[in-house]
């Protein structure tokens, strides 16, 4: 199998993505990435001259979202009914910043 990506490349990519890899993982990832590239190699054999690039499989479709229509919603009591904790009509969640404790 041809080598498209080296272990050095994998280390640089991992560092850029802030992913810690062991030497064994670097070696394994190098083999895996080269295998993926080798699998996709037949795509390069297609004659794509004159084919315009598309950014959506359905061509010029620009908005695939439905209309935002207001509907029925929960009451505050219904929304809080299954909450593990509530206080003053709000969800009570553990603090993740500051001095700790529930906020």
pTM of the model: 0.48
pLDDT for residue 59: 64
Reported as type and span, the H/E element at residue 91 is strand 90-91
Average pLDDT along the chain = 88
DSSP per-residue string spanning 14-43? HHHTT----HHHHHHHHHHHHHHHHHHGGG
3-state secondary structure of 48: coil
Q: For 37-82, what is each residue's pLDDT tens digit?
A: 999 999 889 998 998 877 766 666 667 788 889 999 999 999 999 9
């Amino acid at each position: 199998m041809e080598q498209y990506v080296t272990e050095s490349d994998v280390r640089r990519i991992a560092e850029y993505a802030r992913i810690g890899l062991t030497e064994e993982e670097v070696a394994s990832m190098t083999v895996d990435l080269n295998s993926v590239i080798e699998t996709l190699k037949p795509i390069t054999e297609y004659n794509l001259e004159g084919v315009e690039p598309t950014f959506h499989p359905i061509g010029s479709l620009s908005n695939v979202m439905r209309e935002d229509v207001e509907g029925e919603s929960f009451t505050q009591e219904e929304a809080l009914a299954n909450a593990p904790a509530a206080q003053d009509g709000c969800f009570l969640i553990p603090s993740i910043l500051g001095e700790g404790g529930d906020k």
